[in-house]
Structure 1
């Protein structure tokens, strides 16, 4: 197997699932069942085999099955570029999440080095019209799919920024307290900006790589308080220093990549994504996710695992078939959920199927040969 695919997924006391053991091949995985049966929980489990907090951004204690609260575990066998890796993540009750790769303890970032993952969930449907936080998270997730070390820069930046903001709130005016912090913020922040610019360039290239049934989006990185040359650490450091009086008055840092945004324009209409119809906004979002997958495939050597939660429910039959055709043409293993098997009829034998139901208060996942 020369692509990227999970061939085994095992869950223990995860969300609504007491125990799940699935064996898969590299084809897309179609998961169907009633609302509340536990379909999205399977996708969330898969997402935790990548760096970060997963597609719901939940804390470790939120993932354990109730009422037992024994802790939880997710294991998977990942085939990646002719190599096989055993991945495991989980947390004992009240403890922090741990990661193991090939039976050795590892940092979360290491999961991004052996595999890549992108996802689209219903909460992202408002991406183009919600606040900037959601778009930054979306862009940073895309950036991680290309540059796993982006997570380290983000953590360094956030930690130093919290310390600087604490000084500002305490009205500390002595410059000596700020010098080292601002240097650290500037170095990490400049790297974050460069990484995001690289990711946007890759997303744009990914859209240009194929003819698609989904519209293209013109993407660019913006900032509420723009700094020319923000990707240069010294320029950002000077901007932080110059901004101290304003920051003291505001009680927070007003310049830097934490103020960034991702602007999008529907290329075919020259219209900002926020002004498009709901259907056009969804189509643009799918276009960007597919572009992300194409670009990662070129960059990493294999397309990422794609997680699509309830994506088919908002597409007509033509667009749904086009989406499935593009996923199959990419050669990506996409894990997709829907309320009924009819939503996956266009896939036929190009996919493998899992039915999720609730039995005696627990989710049950059963593999099927057809929808």
Structure 2
């Protein structure tokens, strides 16, 4: 049985342009309508800070503090009461502590990344993702890794460990202190974490592609996805874990001089992999499609990921969809509403006018946002 995570109460204190906010909600999708700059995305960001990581804006801990003229609040806080697959009543809180440190709690106790990801999974889609397939490789990889981590919290920990090791190796190479034994040890650890990353991505990609292929509607186009990476290719070709680790260690060792001279890791490790997509119906690379078609492809991908995650874990994630209806015609807006309601997900959507959400009818909760206040 699939159970949907949903926020039933949301409270903000001194967060961005909200002095206070207290919303009582039900499990239906939440549609936030209002002019640009009214605070719609701020609400989505606040919710995202109840998940592992730095939120959908990647903000520093003091950035969300409310400012009024020359005055700045001393702290900010986000509090939510939610129904999840784990329990009917769980509280989540995140806020700024003394010393500029952020802490996130669940039922009043400090929460780990794994706890948050398991109890309140969420997937975010932002306007900058509209042309994700035409943009920089690093943005696509970051987006995909977040999707993988939503399904597998350990993936995020593996990625953090790999990046820390990569940074240590690069600093050593640039300093000239290239003790081979020291570098060998770092690169051995990098290879272990790197192969773990690649393996996790391949498994997630297979589940995601299966969910895309199984979608019955034709409102959003289907994409054929692939991962372009040295380690991913080795594993996909049948290489064992040890063989893939040895291959990556060899590549790193051979690239030491080049990476040190370049000031960045040019060696083709998992940090330089890419997510590629092809519009199946048009037989065209996704990056060459129109903005509207790319938006539709991304929406298909996000909806498929939500479905794949729920099938694996039994929990439907929250969907944070900022300006999701932009670049969509009426048919696709209707298709999006039907898809979200069909999944049973509590999606949080933003848009400049309430008419964008007409397709939800009484299946959604439309709230008016203006100047840091919300009207039901």
Which bin holds the TM-score, normalised by the shorter protein? over 0.9
In the other structure, the counterpart of 1:118 is 123
Alignment root-mean-square deviation, CA: 1.8
Q: How does 1:202-221 map to 2 (within 5 A)?
A: 202-212=207-217, 213-221=219-227
Q: How does 1:72-111 map to 2 (within 5 A)?
A: 72-81=76-85, 83=87, 84-92=89-97, 94-111=99-116
**Residue 366 in structure 1 maps to residue 375 in structure 2:** yes
CA distance in 2, matches of 1:26, 1:191: 36
CA distance in 2, matches of 1:326, 1:32: 20
**Residue 192 in structure 1 maps to residue 204 in structure 2:** no
Q: Counterpart of 1:332 in 2: which secondary structure?
A: coil
**Contact 2:5/2:316 (CA < 8 Å) preserved in 1?**
yes
Count of matched residue positions in the alignment of Structure 1 and Structure 2: 363
Q: Counterpart of 2:303 in 1: which secondary structure?
A: helix
Q: How does 1:1-80 map to 2 (within 5 A)?
A: 2-66=3-67, 67-80=71-84
Q: How does 1:180-259 map to 2 (within 5 A)?
A: 180-212=185-217, 213-223=219-229, 228-229=234-235, 232-253=244-265, 254-259=267-272
1:241-291: CA deviations, max 9, x gaps? 233233334333223111111011001122111111121111111111111
Q: Counterpart of 2:66 in 1: which secondary structure?
A: coil
Q: Counterpart of 1:196 in 2: which secondary structure?
A: helix
Q: Which moved more, 1:49-58 or 1:331-340?
A: 49-58
CA distance in 1, matches of 2:14, 2:292: 37
Q: Counterpart of 1:45 in 2: which secondary structure?
A: helix
CA distance in 2, matches of 1:53, 1:191: 23
CA distance in 2, matches of 1:323, 1:234: 45
Q: Counterpart of 2:215 in 1: which secondary structure?
A: coil
The one of 173, 181, 184 equivalent to 1:176 is: 181
The one of 332, 343, 346 equivalent to 2:359 is: 346
Distance of aligned partners of 1:227 and 1:210 in 2 relative to their CA distance in 1, 3 Å threshold: closer
In the other structure, the counterpart of 2:296 is 283
Unaligned 5+ runs, structure 1 = none
Q: Counterpart of 2:337 in 1: which secondary structure?
A: helix
Q: Which moved more, 1:207-216 or 1:133-142?
A: 207-216
Deviation, structure 1 residue 93 = 5.8
**Contact 1:29/1:354 (CA < 8 Å) preserved in 2?**
yes
Deviation, structure 1 residue 20 = 0.8
CA distance in 2, matches of 1:287, 1:210: 9
Deviation, structure 1 residue 116 = 1.1
CA distance in 1, matches of 2:370, 2:51: 26
1:168-213: CA deviations, max 9, x gaps? 1123332022022112111111111111112211211111222121
CA distance in 1, matches of 2:375, 2:48: 20
When normalised by structure 2's length, the TM-score is 0.92
CA distance in 2, matches of 1:215, 1:192: 28
CA distance in 2, matches of 1:234, 1:19: 55
Deviation, structure 1 residue 94 = 4.8
When normalised by structure 1's length, the TM-score is 0.93
CA distance in 1, matches of 2:125, 2:188: 36
Q: Counterpart of 1:31 in 2: which secondary structure?
A: strand
In the other structure, the counterpart of 1:315 is 328
CA distance in 2, matches of 1:296, 1:339: 30
In the other structure, the counterpart of 2:273 is 260
**Contact 1:186/1:233 (CA < 8 Å) preserved in 2?**
yes
Deviation, structure 1 residue 225 = 9.0
CA distance in 2, matches of 1:11, 1:266: 41
Distance of aligned partners of 1:193 and 1:103 in 2 relative to their CA distance in 1, 3 Å threshold: same
Q: Which moved more, 1:88-97 or 1:116-125?
A: 88-97
